[in-house]
Amino acid sequence: MNFWILLLLAIVQGITEFLPISSSGHTVLLNNIFGINNNIKLLSILLHIATLLSVLVFYRKELITLLKHPLCNTNKKIITTTIFTCLIVLILRPLINKTFDGNYIFVFFIITAFLLFIGDYMADKRDFLSNNETCKTNANTFKQYDITNIPITYKQSIIIGITQGIACIPGISRSGSTIAIGQICGAKDTARYSFLISIPIIIASFVLELFDGGLSNISIPTTSLIISMIVCFAIGLVCIKYMTILVRKNKMALFGYYLLAISTILVILSFF
């Protein structure tokens, strides 16, 4: 694979992993544009590992606290979410693998867009009814709570877990859909929870790829891959902070318009 194409994929991954526009969807789209047929799924997972490191660095204080309290409520809810995500992925795995061809990616972009619109609407409505700044769904309010007792119910954690499993389909944003579903369900601080639950699922995806022998078939130069992952990590670190600000201001719908626009372009191009 050409180094500059790989670098472009890394930049796009770093930006789109935390912005609610589907990193895997854009990766598949670029793969189709450049005619990349090998290691598509594996490359997506490796770049997800880079953005995973961004999460680990950005939330290092919270993670250290959670590690010191392994049986706390937050960890139990993260485990609950992860279990339901894994169940959905196992059930939908044949379908998920087929969607990596990108033929219907515009449909999944549209689904993500409407989730963002509804999520923002529900968050705005809840903020208006509460008329209380401390009740807003945003990353900053999480600091008012004990990290070991996150203000998300088990029912909400299950729904978010199911959503995260479905979001393995390219075009459905993992961060966007889980945050939006959390907002729709009335959960607080869905942004930070969305980033925290990405940790075990990315690790699980990598382990699954190892068992499938994916790494033995990799045809990407090691140096190019390392450089790309470093770039992806750095960009991801910046975008996490930017994303938390957008969620705080209930501006997720802005990306919904972008997804509708790119979906329209894809549909038009399909006729030529």
- pLDDT the model gives residue 255: 95
Return the percentage of the chain with pLDDT > 70, whole number: 86
> Which tops the pLDDT comparison, 100 or 139?
100
Q: Which residues contact 246 (CB under 8 A, 6 or more apart)?
A: 252, 254
Question: How is residue 65 written in tokens?
Answer: 């606290």
- Dump pLDDT digits (tens) for 103-119: 889 999 999 999 999 99
pLDDT band at 139 (very low <50, low <70, confident <90, very high): very low
| 71 contacts 148 by C-beta, under 8 angstroms | no
Average pLDDT over residues 40-68: 87
Question: How is residue 259 written in tokens?
Answer: 């997804």
pLDDT band at 48 (very low <50, low <70, confident <90, very high): confident
- pLDDT the model gives residue 261: 96
- pLDDT the model gives residue 213: 55
- pLDDT the model gives residue 160: 97
By CB neighbour count within 10 A (0-12 exposed, 13-18 middle, 19+ buried), where does 237 fall? middle
pLDDT band at 56 (very low <50, low <70, confident <90, very high): very high
* Residue-wise DSSP of 53-78: HHHHHHTHHHHHHHHH-TTSHHHHHH
- pLDDT the model gives residue 86: 94
Return the percentage of the chain with pLDDT > 90, whole number: 51
Q: Which residues contact 44 (CB under 8 A, 6 or more apart)?
A: 13, 23, 24, 27, 28
Q: Distance between CA atoms of 113 and 115, rounded to whole angstroms?
A: 5
| 247 contacts 138 by C-beta, under 8 angstroms | yes
- pLDDT the model gives residue 212: 64
DSSP state of 39: S
* Residue-wise DSSP of 127-177: HHHH--GGGS-SGGGGGGS-TTS-S--HHHHHHHHHHHHHTTSTTS-HHHH
Domain coverage including residue 41: 3-269
Average pLDDT over residues 164-188: 94
Rounded CA Rg of the chain: 18
Average pLDDT over residues 153-159: 96
Average pLDDT over residues 183-188: 91
Most confident region among 132-136, 195-199, 210-214 by mean pLDDT = 195-199
User: What SS3 class is residue 158?
Assistant: helix
- pLDDT the model gives residue 46: 78
pLDDT band at 137 (very low <50, low <70, confident <90, very high): very low
Per the structure, how many domains does the chain have? 1
Q: Token match 């590992």: residue?
A: 49
Average pLDDT over residues 163-173: 94
DSSP state of 250: T
